[in-house]
Amino acid sequence: MSNQKISGGKALMQAFIAEGVETIFGYPGGAIMPAYDALYDFRDQLRHVLVRHEQGAAHAAQGYARVTGKTGVVLVTSGPAATNVITGITDAMLDSTPLVVITGQVVSSLLATDAFQETDIVSITQPITKWSYQIRNASEIAWAVARAFYIAREGRPGPVVLDLTKNAQFELTEFNYEPCTYIRSYVPIPKPDLTQIEEAANLINKAQRPYALVGQGVILGHAEKELLTFLEKAQIPIACTLLGLSAVPTKHPLFKGMPGMHGNYSCNLKINECDLLIGIGMRFDDRITSTLDTFAKQASVIHFDIDPAEMNKNVKVNVSVLGSVKETLPLVTELLKANRHDEWISSFDALDAIEYEEVIKEETNPSSDDIKMGEVVRKVSEATHHEAVLVTDVGQNQMMGARYFQFTKNRSFITSGGLGTMGFGLPAAVGAKVGAPNRTVCLFTGDGGFQMTIQELGTIMQEKIGIKMIILNNNFLGMVRQWQEMFFDERYSFTTMHNPDFVAIAAAYGIRGKHVATHEALDEAIAEMFQDDAPYLLEVKIEAKGMVFPMVPSGASVSDVRLK
């Protein structure tokens, strides 16, 4: 690198380019203005997407990261801008999404003086990041950015915050960029223990009723092929967690669906019938396990994960296999005997048939005049030949999307899992489409969540981002209303929504759209929506009090899953 001195703002841009950054999601302001001034000269190398709210920048960067496998980058100013990205940072931490978030800060001489738009963002974000650091001198920028990208992407991914003072952006510095490849105190990928590998293989070889729960760790580790080789050799049926969906094609014969609170009937019941439960790149969270004292007590448990902190955190396991699943799965596969578990695998079928008759049949092909949520999801998935990227908001739309959308490609499902952030969907879909411009991106959202970040329609307009937005409008906060109906004596306390004309709002942003309220109109509108690559908003009037079933009530056993 040249030893010619450049400004800190320019050093930041040069560091981004050195790390392979192509896209930044952000919003300018006073304390980050020198960096934005430098960005003006890098417009041919760095695409900047101007969001309409800083929370939108964080969620868009998450969508971008999830669909591409790259690190998402956020650039915002200080004070309220920095605090506005906290929800997205927390969401990224809980869902292991790699982000580098740059926040502006007042000049160093004004720190701790309560200066205009000064906020101690480092202290605020330390509990919700992998690393949070304040840069006070331009000479630190190259070192800090290299370290930030290394920490964000290596091992279990997550967000990093760099708080950049305004004086550091102005100062001149020699720019010598060295990518970070090692930090003494950080071991991102534990070395596999061959004893653990052998113990895991022995348990699998002896099992008569093995069952795998596959999470997002497989996707983050780029281990989809290794997973299928492992499963097919031992003939192990699998269910994918919410964030693990699309790791395996929906039509794969070993794929049985999704476990958890609104998962498939068979997937939940078989947890308490298997003799070996294998968790792969997942964290046994409460939405999967429900009450722990009745979860898979009859089974031996193997846990594959990259993060030692997840081992025995919730579910006590017999064998912990630490390391990247891309490395550990093949090591175990080598020791497996080719096996068949035909009777065990086929035992899922009878339960699937019950769920189809009790739930799926009416939900996807309703006999009533009301449009059902599952019907909309199924038809949109079919219209995309099951090749689209599905982005959801949070609530009933999220669960219905997960249950009825089908996947043929990996990295095709983006949602807020651990934090459950309403408002996530619209900006995340923006980021997903920016990251995968040649793929169809479909957003399913509710009328409540859509309005939390509705201003990002402006981003779609300005950037000409061709996402397909489907609002499942029941004029309720649907998931909360479902709980009120089931567990609070139908006392619908402040869950009724009086909504605006969403299609008219979209039209004000130059986005085409349509209202539909009948089955016939739905078919026509879906066909119209996919006629071209332009953004489109489809508002579907669904049944007011639709329910998401199956359901494992909070605090119940997974065996107590309800179909109605």
Q: Give the bridge partners for 539, in sequence order.
A: 471, 515
**Two structure tokens written together for 559:** 């065996």
The single residue of 22, 33, 42, 117 carrying the catalytic annotation is 117
SS3 402: helix
> Is 479 one of the catalytic residues?
yes
> Is 424 one of the catalytic residues?
no
The single residue of 5, 45, 116, 490 carrying the catalytic annotation is 116
> Is 497 one of the catalytic residues?
no
Q: Which residues are CB-neighbours of 44 under 8 A, at least 6 positions away?
A: none
> Is 116 one of the catalytic residues?
yes
Digitized pLDDT (tens) for each residue of the chain, 564 residues in all: 456 899 999 999 999 999 999 999 999 999 999 999 999 999 999 999 999 999 999 999 999 999 999 999 999 999 999 999 999 999 999 999 999 999 999 999 999 999 999 999 999 999 999 999 999 999 999 999 999 999 999 999 999 999 999 999 999 999 999 999 999 989 999 999 999 999 999 999 999 999 999 999 999 999 999 999 999 999 999 999 999 999 999 999 999 999 999 999 999 999 999 999 999 999 999 999 999 999 999 999 999 999 999 999 999 999 999 999 999 999 999 999 999 999 999 999 999 999 999 999 999 999 999 999 999 999 999 999 999 999 999 999 999 999 999 999 999 999 999 999 999 999 999 999 999 999 999 999 999 999 999 999 999 999 999 999 999 999 999 999 999 999 999 999 999 999 999 999 999 999 999 999 999 999 999 999 999 999 999 999 999 999 999 999 989 999 999 999
- Nearest-10 Cα torsion for 423, 428, 433, 434: 120
How much is the pLDDT for 4?
Answer: 85
Start and end residues for every CATH 3.40.50.970 domain found in the chain? 5-174, 365-541
Burial class (CB in 10 A: 0-12, 13-18, 19+), 501: exposed
**Two structure tokens written together for 153:** 């992407």
CATH class of the domain defined by 365-541: alpha beta
- HSE toward the beta carbon, residue 362, CA cutoff 13 A: 16
| pLDDT tens for each residue of 312-369 | 999 999 999 999 999 999 999 999 999 999 999 999 999 999 999 999 999 999 999 9
**Amino acid, single-letter form, for residue 488:** F
- H or E stretch at 282: none
Beta-strand pair 468-473/536-541: parallel
The single residue of 13, 93, 399, 479 carrying the catalytic annotation is 479
The single residue of 13, 16, 25, 54 carrying the catalytic annotation is 54
> Is 175 one of the catalytic residues?
no
What are the Cα distances from residue 207, in Å, to 247, 257, 343?
Answer: 24, 21, 13
Q: Give the bridge partners for 23, in sequence order.
A: 47
Start and end residues for every CATH 3.40.50.1220 domain found in the chain? 194-347
Contact predicate 86/128, CB 8 Å = yes
pTM above threshold 0.75: yes
CATH class of the domain defined by 194-347: alpha beta
Instruction: Determine the Cα–Cα distance for residues 150 and 115; give it in Å rounded to an integer.
Output: 32
**C-beta neighbour count of 224 within 10 angstroms:** 19
Residue 146: phi and psi, rounded to 5, are -60, -45
How much is the pLDDT for 3?
Answer: 67
What are the Cα distances from residue 111, in Å, to 78, 118, 124, 221, 527?
Answer: 12, 7, 15, 40, 56
**C-beta neighbour count of 134 within 10 angstroms:** 20
Report the topology of domain 5-174. Rossmann fold (3.40.50)
The single residue of 10, 130, 166, 514 carrying the catalytic annotation is 166
